[in-house]
Copies of this chain bind each other. A is one copy, B any other.
Amino acid sequence: MIKYPTGSGASLADFQKNQPVSPKEISFSDRGMTLEQQINESNQFYLAQKMAVVHKKPTPIQIVKVDYPKRSRAVIREAYFRQASTTDYNGVYRGYYLDFEAKETKNKKSFPLKNFHEHQLVHLANCLDQGGICFAIIGFMTLRRYFVTPASFVIDAWHEWKNGAKSSMALSDIVKSSIEIKTGYRPTLPYLEAVDQLIADRK
């Protein structure tokens, strides 16, 4: 039987940034929070309010060696990061399948397309084919501006990059193609309001 560690909800990203998040530390503004933290906090809020069920997928790990100490929980002693085959977030909202990737930049004028990986765009295209609501949440962290950008726009821009046409998406083009998220008190990043607009535009 697997024994789980007690009390910790820290994610890989928290670990990498050495900033564990406990419920007590959740703030209701975006000050100092990464985009991922803002989305995770918003998802907790949406789940508690029964507005949507969206979770971040765990990082895929290939486990090679596990110790099973007596009277203690199992310890993974050798493991490797694996390439993901999907985006980071998916879930269900008002009967719709949601699928999205979250990306942040400190740039002020454009978003570099190299931040997207091919498997993420292939997955978004596959989910679009199945009628999913697919997008990226793009955060310009210095500007504190956040966008729900349709997956179709990101996929087109990424292919243009691969064809040598451009290396980034201009903020002005993102503004035109996206729905800007009005940051709020609760949740921190109320992205579902922008998703409502995306769903309405699709019809």
Q: Is A95 an interface residue (CB 8 A)?
A: yes
10 tightest CB-CB pairs across the interface, nearest first? A95-B131, A92-B97, A76-B79, A58-B60, A97-B97, A92-B130, A92-B132, A58-B58, A5-B80, A4-B83
Specify the main secondary structure of chain A where it touches its partner. mixed
How many of chain A's residues touch chain B, expressed as a range? 35 or more
**Does A121 make an interface contact (CB < 8 A)?**
no
Q: Does A8 contact B (CB under 8 A)?
A: yes
Considering the chains assembled together, what is the distance between the CA atoms of A129 and B94 in angstroms? 9
A126 touches B53 (CB 8 A): yes
Expressed in whole angstroms, the Cα–Cα distance for A28 and B4 within the complex equals: 36
**A64-83, CB < 8 A from B:** 64, 73-83
In the complex, are the beta carbons of A130 and B95 less than 8 A apart? yes
A148 interface residue (CB < 8 Å to B): no
Given contacts A57-B58, A63-B12, contact A80 B127 (CB under 8 A): no
Contact with B along A1-45 (1 / 0, CB 8 A): 011110010101001000000000000000000000000000000
Which residues of B have CB within 8 Å of A93? Answer: 130
